[in-house]
Amino acid sequence: MSDAALQIAELRAALAAQTASAEAAHARAQAAEAELAQARALASCTEAMIKELKLEIAKLRRDKYGISSERRARLIDQLELQLEELEAAATEDALAAEVAAAADTTSTVRAFTRRKPVRKPFPDHLPRERVVVEAPTSCTCCGSDRIVKMGEDITETLEVIPRQWKVVQTVREKFTCRACEKISQPPAPFHAIPRGWAGPQLIAMITFDKYGQHQPLNRQSERIAREGIELSLSTLADLIGHACVALAPIHALIERHVLDGGRLHGDDTTVPLLARGGTKTARLWTYVRDDRPWDGGAPPAALFKFSTDRRKEHPTRHLTGWHGVLQSDVYGGYNDLYLADRSPGPVRSALCWSHARRKFFELADIKAIARKGKKVAEEISPIALDAVTRIDAIFAIEREINGLSAAARHEVRQQRVVPLVNDLHDWMRAERARMSKHNPVAKAINYMLDGAGRWEAFTAFLDDGRLCLTNNAAERALRGIALGRKSWLFAGSERGGDRAAFMYTLIVTANMNDIDPQAWMADVLARLPDMPASRVLELLPWNWKTTTDLKRIAA
């Protein structure tokens, strides 16, 4: 072999070696890229799983322990938003990992299974639309046309039909008599509102979106316009006014039901009220009747009232003629209700242990103090932490007896809770005696011990099995308002505040009875105009629920 041929052979061998080395390097790079994509997808899915579990834990704590603070609600909202982003990122990373694994043909990448939420079957009441894929006319293997159907596979996909609008034409035919020439015609049907241009479903939707979903009428008008219907803000406001007038009998019955209760929860929250030159702070009050904790049998309901300020004459006026036990926070505005010479009798006070615990908890909240950049060891109060621990032991027993009869609750409290409460009382008095009056813990202790009859009001639940340890029922009723005012910003007038209180009474009561407020209001608006006064009780949320269940069973 000549030198030239030998040199060519050597060059070819070197080129082949370089090519093989390059291919190996490329294969290693692909494998590394696939491994990285898998690791990134696994990390994203794991992070999404952790956030999902945290969200589930937060919701379970709220449902089980009745935690209703706005901070807890904001935490759940934040976790839900984070979960949305993480789930989307996990899906993107998982798809990228699949592409990378498919491109890597030289090595095996360890696969992982992403934890996906278990999809529940779609509800049976949803209509089904069959889309049949065109079947083959011959065998895909041998080409024979001797094929017969042996079964089918069905894949269900959830789809939505955009909101549809329609015009309902109510036709009343006229007939003339050939004998007497008189005209016969059926009478006009009753309408939800005068002149009847808006149907009950439309009125209920507008009303519930405004007060239940916190969507101001101007936003609703804009959305409806995008759907091809021109309904001005003033037209929608007119519907709200008509709805208030039409639903007044139902509101009156709910108010009477609430004030017939011997035990009420009372609370209030701020509402910005539009005034000259800006806004001023008004109030929405709620009075809740909820006998479920002691299995009282009466259906739950909530009554809302509006006032332009927080003066004490407002709760005095709201509860005129009522006497019983009022569970509330330590607010001096209720004091006139407790007067011995009040007619028809003094109201008994039962104070909320959640408010008392919160004052100690704020002094022992390690996470909150750490967020402020302070040294935890210096800022945490061991006495406040001890107080929280003692109070939590009482709460633990109360959770065990929730839903039992009043007699059973009273017996358990006398045996197990009374010793804890007495020990707490003696311990607080002893600790306060060693503190300065300016100590924050001393102020938290004084919240429970200072004031005439304060400790008696805190311990009233020990002698009455009907009473609750907290006023959380009222705080839950106000939760939607606290969230909604961020959307509707303020009440436009005093009349607007009264209308809001009116509608919140209906919507919150419906929610407390586990029924859809919008469906209930639509049915009430449709049936109320031609219903005898003696049967209006059938339309109350708790009775309406029973009626609709019976109709569903019969169908």
**Count of Cβ atoms closer than 10 Å to residue 18 Cβ:** 10
Identify the H or E element spanning 287: strand 278-289
Q: In sequence order, which ranges of 217-275 are alpha helices (DSSP H)?
A: 217-226, 233-246, 248-259
Does residue 452 belong to any structural domain of this protein?
no
pLDDT the model gives residue 157: 81
Please state the domain count of the chain.
Answer: 1
Candidates 417, 401, 396, 416; CA nearest to 295 is 401
Any idea which residue has 């040294």 for tokens?
A: 375
Q: Considering only residues 307 and 437, tell me which one the structure prediction assigns the higher pLDDT.
A: 307
Cβ(366)–Cβ(474) below 8 Å: no
Does residue 85 belong to any structural domain of this protein?
yes
Residue range 460-485: mean pLDDT, rounded: 90
pLDDT the model gives residue 47: 67
Does residue 275 belong to any structural domain of this protein?
no
Any idea which residue has 């007060």 for tokens?
A: 211
Residue range 463-484: mean pLDDT, rounded: 90
Q: Considering only residues 548 and 219, tell me which one the structure prediction assigns the higher pLDDT.
A: 219
Cβ(457)–Cβ(328) below 8 Å: no
Residue range 392-417: mean pLDDT, rounded: 94
pLDDT the model gives residue 102: 66
Residue range 118-132: mean pLDDT, rounded: 81
Cβ(285)–Cβ(266) below 8 Å: yes
**What is the spatial distance between Cα 325 and Cα 555, in angstroms, rounded to a whole number?**
44
pLDDT the model gives residue 61: 59
What is 267-285 written as a DSSP string? Answer: EEEEEEEEETTEEEEEEEE
**What is the spatial distance between Cα 294 and Cα 302, in angstroms, rounded to a whole number?**
17
Q: Considering only residues 217 and 50, tell me which one the structure prediction assigns the higher pLDDT.
A: 217
Q: pTM of the entire structure?
A: 0.76
Lowest mean pLDDT among 227-241, 253-267, 340-354: 227-241
| Residue 53 confidence (pLDDT) above 90 | no
pLDDT the model gives residue 375: 47
pLDDT the model gives residue 92: 60
pLDDT the model gives residue 23: 72
**What is the spatial distance between Cα 153 and Cα 130, in angstroms, rounded to a whole number?**
12
Does residue 542 belong to any structural domain of this protein?
no
Cβ(380)–Cβ(364) below 8 Å: yes
pLDDT the model gives residue 428: 94
Read off the pLDDT of residues 145-186 as tens digits, 9 standing for 90 and up.
Answer: 888 888 888 888 888 788 889 898 888 899 999 888 899 988
Q: How confident is the model at residue 109 (pLDDT cuts 50, 70, 90)?
A: very low
Does residue 89 belong to any structural domain of this protein?
yes
Average pLDDT, the chain: 82
Q: Which domain holds residue 48?
A: 23-103
Does residue 404 belong to any structural domain of this protein?
no
Query: Percentage of the chain surpassing pLDDT 90?
Result: 40
Does residue 316 belong to any structural domain of this protein?
no
| Residue 462 confidence (pLDDT) above 80 | yes
Read off the pLDDT of residues 55-96 as tens digits, 9 standing for 90 and up.
Answer: 666 666 555 555 455 455 555 555 555 555 555 556 566 666
Does residue 549 belong to any structural domain of this protein?
no
Q: How confident is the model at residue 488 (pLDDT cuts 50, 70, 90)?
A: low
